[in-house]
Each structure stands twice: as structure tokens, then as C-alpha cells.
Amino acid sequence: MITSATAPGSGRETRDSVVIRFAGDSGDGMQVTGSQFTLETALAGSDFSTFPDFPAEIRAPAGTTFGVSAFQIHFGGTDVMTPGDAVDVLVAMNPAALTVDVRDLKVGGTVIVDTSAFNERNLGKAGYAKNPLEDDSLARYQVLKFDITKLTADAVKPHGLTSREAHLCRNMWALGLLLWMYGHERAATIEWLKRKFAKKPVIAAANIAALNAGHAFGETAEMPEHLVGYVVPKAVARPGRYRTVSGTEGLAWGLVAGLRAAGIEKMVFAGYPITPASALLHTLANLRAYGVVTFQAEDEIAASGAALGASYTGALGVTSSSGPGIALKTEMLGLAIATELPLVVIDSQRAGPSTGMPTKAEQSDLFQAVHGRNADSPLAVLAAATTSDCFDVAIEAVRLATKYMTPVIVLSDGYLAHAAEPWRIPREADLPRFPVSYRTDPEGFHPFLRNPETLARPWVKPGTPQLEHRIGGLERDYDSGHISYDPDNHARMTKARADKIAGIARDIPLQDVALGDDHGALAVVGWGSTFGPIHQAVKIARDEGRDVSHVHVRYLSPFPRNLGELLKRFDRVLVPEMNNGQLVKLLRAEYLIPAESLPKVTGKPFRVTEIAQAIRNL
């Protein structure tokens, strides 16, 4: 909460922005609770940013700390660019959730607990020797103790549920209370419950009863002194139609928009199940009506192979994975580079090495994306900054892949994949157009005849008469496309492949400054999903009177052609990254500048304060 005041007449206090975290057992429905709170927040007109944090285990043993599932939402009127550093209100449905999540609660923050869940068994599983609700261990917080289990059971009693079924309605009671606290409506949630449980009207009615009971509890019950209602102002946003969008949806719809923009009939999206990338396969599997054919391959290698096979026919081949799976696709990327075929590769990065922490986000595949192949194998690499940027980056990836006949890697991450933000919905008519053309003219044709401007080779659909040709991974002659082991030719082809990718720099926007001047004492340079926290931290530093600018790099291979010159206009360059220092090394190598690293490798996104403090400490 940035500021507080009492809104006159309403009896509610005003908050500029609030961070709420719903935490409970994996089976407590915290993700659903958070998503519905997000929807009501959006409909109330606030800006927001969300961050789901769920365990790797599908159904971890109930009551354990490793089974805690949480959903965080930051919402307010201005500058909501991150899910929030510290939590204002923690809803802890059991002791395990309290012990895991209370460490992120602000001093003086509110924690709402279900007293029934704090029984001996659950306390033991969470590692509490004593009940924290009965000693002074939570003295720094405002603790609101409600018997949510009993209050829910009472509310759903008329519907004749089993005690197990009644227990599952607790999350709606908690949601009802939180919606009351922030003056949100319940209508969209009620509508959603009716839809979700259309075939189980009793369950729907019970959940609605629990939701209403939680809301009424806030409205009418004799309030403990700390339970007060708040008003959060609406955000000032560009006029238009909005919706929430997750990074996964942004990528899926961006790929479809890119397909349209390129005028390509069909996309073959081939994937293999892997956390956190699978959601993209699931989303696209429902988009057949948009020319998307999805293929769940036998492994990551086959997924990339099938995508490349599709590109060979003139369709748009797309494959997706996370770090360990991208590693397996490496040889196919090499073939795509050698045969100069378009291929879009989405990497939803996660913490590694090896299996690492599959559900935790990291930005540690930058080296893999830029350099992780045998031989001199350049390709284009882009990174998405926000969930809505995922849409635009996917379109741009399709443009570059088809225009330059090259694989393009899009770096997303586990955080972006699941996070959600409001998105101003574009209209198809306003989207870019970059129609591809397939070669059909046999006159003077050979498969590696280059476009003098882009250096791209022609794209030929098998089925085209008189253009029958053979391509493959063996080196080929620059002037005929036939297999060649000629030493000078190999040097020429290696240079042609490098020049083609380097030339993309002429076709992408110049590097801009996201915030601040284009010269000065310090540039904080970031890429990918750290955009929000870096931007906020730079804003804080500037408010403190520091000479700091924020530079956000979207194009990581090739870099924008003015990037080096821009960075050299700053005395110092600081590079916060969710890895052990990768972009910083690329910048140092490319521009010979003494860029400094600010790494974070905890599997959690940066907090604004961490970056703000690092700036102060310089």
C-alpha cells in the first residue's frame, strides 16, 4: 500500500495499490480464487499484475509446505508493472501456507487465517511446535482469525453437501470476503460458477452461497477492528476494449496473428509435454479453425523435426519447449540454419541446469538461444517483456523467420507463461501485414539463390512444377545449391549465413530508452520479463534524484544497430538478470564496455526494491 486515507463518506479507506496473496493447499483452489479475484479487479477498472506460484507436485500430500499453492495479485490505479514486492494481505488457508508465505508479508500487513485448519495435525505437518495463532510470533502483523471452515459449512448447509464437498467451498468464502474488502462485484464470479458447475447445480449453488456468505460477513458481521473496507482507484488507461491476457495466450494468439499477417495458410505447431511450456500446446490445440494443426510428438527432437518438415512444405513450422527440451532441439535448429528454412521456436525458460526447478522462472537460456549449437550457427533471438508483449513478439518472430528464412527463438519464461495483465485488445484490421511469396518461376532458379537485400533464399513449396530440388545438412555451393566441400565456398557460405542474420539489425527498430535520458550516469539494461521490476526501480531511483535510465532490449540477436553506441553514452551499465550473468557478458563481448551484473537465481522474479537498492549501492 503506497498511501492511505479514508475515503470520505464511504467508511472505506483508500489505497493506491494493494498486493494480495491467496495461499493454501494445492487442493484448496487458490489458483481459481486468484483468477476470479483478478477478473473482478479488472471489471472494477484497476490495473493489475498477477503471479501464480504453484508446486511441481500435482497433488502433494495435504497440509505439507511443499504442497502450498499461491496466487498473488497486485492491483491499483497507477504503475502496476509487477506482481508486487511485498504482500499487504495474506490469506493463509492452513499452517503450511502461513509458514511458507508469511515471510513475504509486510510488517503491519494483514493475514487472514482459517482457525479450524490450525489443528495439531496440520501444525505438525507445517513444522510448527506451537500454534502461531496462540503466541506472539505473528505480533508484527494484523491477524484476522476466522473459522472459515465452520462459516462455510454453515453457509452451504441448506444444499446438503458432504463435509468434504462443503470443505471445498472454503475458497469461495474467502474470495467473497476479499471482494467485499476491496468493494469489488461478485456477478462475474457467480456467472462463472454457474457455467463451471452447469451439470452440478447443487455444487454451483453451494459455492455461490459460500461466496455470498464471505461477502456478507464483511458487510454485516461485527467486525474485528482491523477488518475494514478499502477503495482502490481505477487505473487511467488508453480507451479501448480490454481483457486479461496470460503470456501463454499472448504467444498463442500472436502466432495465429503472425500466420494471418504472413498470409500463410497453415501452422504446424509441434510440441512435447514439458513444464511450463505445455500450456501453449494446449491453447493452440483448440485453434484448428484458425489454420493451426497441433502435433504432440514422441519427443522434443521429433517436435522440432515435424515443425521443420512443415516449414519445408511452405507452412509455418513452430515448436515450443523449455530449456531442457530446447537443448534436444539443437540439432534441428542446425538443420534449419543450414537449409535456411523458417522456424519459430518458443522457449519458456525455467530454472536449471538439467531438470532444475520446473515451475520456477529463470532467464538462463539466453546463451543457449544465442550460441547453443555446434559450429557457426547464427539465428535471431527475441524476448517478450510482458504478457501482452508476448502477442507482439510472436508476430515479429513470424515476420523475421519468413522474411529471412531462418529459425527465430522467442524467449519467454515460466513467470510470463502464467502471469496475467490487462491487455488492450488489438483489431485484426490494425495488425501488420507482411505477406510471404513462394517461388514458382523456374527461370534461373536454384535453391540457394539469395535475395540481394535480405540474403534470404527462395521458399519453394514441394508440389511446384519444375522447381524440384534437394536440400540438406551438407554444405552446399553458393552458386548452385549442390553439395560442396570446397574450402572457399564453405567460408563464403558461413559468412553469408552470418551476414543474413546480422542484416536483420537494419530491419528492426533502433534501441530506445524505456525511461530517462539517452545518456548519463547509469543505464540499467534488462531483457525479458524483468521489464516491470527494472522499470519501477529506475522510476524510484529517478524520484530520488539519481541520473538513471532504463534500457530494455527486445532484440537479443542481432542487437539493434545503435545499442553499443547508446550504452557507451552512459558512465556505468548495470544488467539485472534472472541468471548468473548472461546478457552482461554478451554486451561486454560485443561492445567492450564494462557492464556490471546484477544476477538473481532464486527461481523468483526480481523485487523492485532489490534493484532499487542495487542502484543506490553503486
Partner 1 sequence: MTVTTITDAQLAPKDYSSDQEVRWCPGCGDYAILKAVQKACAELGLVRERTVFVSGIGCAARFPYYMSTYGFHTVHGRAPAIATGIKLANPELDVWVMTGDGDGLSIGGNHMLHVLRRNVDLQIILFNNEIYGLTKGQYSPTSRRGTRSPSTPLGSIEYPVSACGFALGAGARFVARSVDTLQAHLVATLKRGHAHRGASFVEILQNCVVFNDAVFDHITGKEVAADAQILVEHGKPLLFGKNKEKALRLKPGKLELEIVPTGSDALIHDETNRPLAQLLAALEPPFPAAMGVLYCNPAASYEQEVYAQAGGSKGTGDLDALLNSERTWEVTS
* 199 lies in the binding site for partner 1 (CB under 8 A): no
**Going residue by residue from 60 to 89, which x/- string records binding to partner 1, judged by CB under 8 A?**
------------------------------
Please select the residue that binds partner 1; options are 63, 76, 305, 576, rule is CB under 8 A: 305
Pick the closer one to partner 1 by CB: 216 or 293. Answer: 293
Please state the φ and ψ torsions of residue 599, each to the nearest 5 degrees.
-85, 150
CA angle 30, 144, 76 (to 5 degrees): 60
Strand order in the sheet with 142-146: 47-53, 68-76, 17-25, 87-92, 105-114, 142-146
Residue 124 CB, nearest distance to partner 1 (Å)? Answer: 42
Question: Segment contacting partner 1 (CB under 8 A): 75-83, 127-135, 220-228, 290-298?
Answer: 290-298
Q: Between 265 and 479, name the residue whose CB sits nearer to partner 1.
A: 265
Options 265, 453, 507, 565; binder of partner 1; rule CB under 8 A: 265
Alpha-carbon torsion angle 185, 217, 107, 12, nearest 10 = 60
Identify the residue among 200, 482, 495, 568 touching partner 1 (CB under 8 A).
482
Least Å from the CB of residue 431 to partner 1:
8
Using CA atoms, how far residue 594 sits from 203, 550, 607, 618, in Å, is 62, 17, 25, 14
- Of the ranges 102-110, 326-334, 363-371, 450-458, which one interacts with partner 1 (CB under 8 A)? 326-334
Which position has the grid cell 476479499?
A: 178
Number of other residues whose CB lies within 10 A of the CB of residue 458 = 20
Q: How far apart are CA 524 and CA 383, in angstroms?
A: 17
Task: Single out the residue of 148, 166, 178, 302 in contact with partner 1 (rule: CB under 8 A).
Answer: 302
Rg (CA), the chain: 27
Judged by CB under 8 A, the chain residues 536 through 595 that form the site for partner 1 are none
Q: CB of 389: closest distance to partner 1 in angstroms?
A: 15
Relative to beta strand 570-577, strand 520-526 is parallel
Site for partner 1 (CB under 8 A): which residue of 293, 327, 496, 502? Answer: 293
Q: Which helix (H) or strand (E) holds 112?
A: strand 105-114
Part in contact with partner 1 (CB under 8 A); list of ranges 143-151, 260-268, 543-551, 586-594: 260-268
Tell me, what DSSP letter sits at residue 116?
G
3-state secondary structure (DSSP) of residue 548? strand
Whichever of 335 and 502 has its CB closer to partner 1, that residue is 335
Q: Residue 47 carries which side chain, given as an amino acid letter? A: D
Q: Does 290 bind partner 1 (CB under 8 A)?
A: yes
Measured from the CB atom, the residue of 464 and 494 that comes closer to partner 1 is 464
Query: Least distance to partner 1 from the beta carbon of 70, Å?
Result: 23
- Number of neighbouring beta carbons within 10 Å of residue 461: 13
Least separation, in Å, of the C-beta of 251 and partner 1?
13
Smallest gap from Cβ 179 to partner 1, in A, equals 15
Stretch that binds partner 1, among 117-125, 217-225, 328-336, 582-590 (CB under 8 A): 328-336
Site residues (CB under 8 A) for partner 1, limited to 452-471: 461-471
Quick note: the x/- pattern for partner 1 over 94-113, rule CB under 8 A, is --------------------
Amino acid at 81: M
Give backbone dihedrals phi and psi of 596, rounded to 5 degrees, phi first: -110, 150
The residue among 62 and 188 lying less far from partner 1, judged by its C-beta, is 188
Shorter beta-carbon distance to partner 1: residue 315 or 524: 315
> What CA–CA distance (Å, rounded) separates 21 from 38?
11
| Positions in 234-253 near partner 1 (CB under 8 A) | 237-244, 253
Say how many residues touch partner 1, by CB under 8 A.
Answer: 74
**Residue among 210 and 467 whose Cβ is closer to partner 1:** 467
For helices 187-196 and 201-220, the axis angle rounded to 10 degrees is 160
Site for partner 1 in 14-53 (CB under 8 A): 39, 42-43, 45
Q: Restricting to residues 131-170, name those near partner 1 by CB under 8 A.
A: none
User: Which of 134, 299, 507, 512 touches partner 1 (CB under 8 A)?
Assistant: 299
Binding partner 1 (rule: CB under 8 A), the pick from 120, 136, 222, 298 is 298
Measured between alpha carbons, how far is residue 77 from residues 43, 46, 538 in Å?
13, 6, 19
Binding mask of the shown chain, residues 390 to 429, with x at each position contacting partner 1 by CB under 8 A: ----------------------------------xxxxx-
| d(C-alpha 468, C-alpha 466), whole Å | 6
Beta-carbon count within 10 A of 574 CB? 22
State the amino acid at position 67 in one-letter form: G
- 3-state secondary structure string across 126-186: CCCCCCCCCCCCCCCCEEEEECHHHHHHHHHHHHCCCHHHHHCCHHHHHHHHHHHHCCCCC
Question: Whole-angstrom Cα distance, residue 93 to residue 564?
Answer: 51
Nearer to partner 1, 270 or 381 (CB): 270
Does position 256 bind partner 1 by CB under 8 A?
yes
**Residue closer to partner 1, measured from CB, 157 or 288:** 288
* Cβ-based neighbours of 407, under 8 Å, separated by 6 or more: 333, 336, 337, 341, 342, 343, 344, 345, 379, 380, 401
CB of 240 to partner 1, least distance (A): 6
Query: Of 74, 167, 184, 260, which one interacts with partner 1 (CB under 8 A)?
Result: 260
Closer by beta carbon to partner 1, 17 or else 152: 17
CB of 471 to partner 1, least distance (A): 6
Distance in Å, CB of 86 to partner 1, minimum: 28
Of residues 333-392, which lie at the interface with partner 1 (CB under 8 A)? 334-335, 339
Residue number with CB closer to partner 1 (68 or 345): 345
DSSP assignment, residue 459? P
From CA 263, how far away is CA 484, in angstroms rounded?
Answer: 34
- Residue closer to partner 1 by CB (options 152, 246) is 246
Which three cell numbers mark 481?
545449391
Shortest distance, position 65 Cβ to partner 1, whole Å: 34
- Options 48, 75, 295, 570; binder of partner 1; rule CB under 8 A: 295
Nearest Cα to Cα of residue 364 among 197, 577, 559: 577
Nearer to partner 1, 151 or 379 (CB): 379
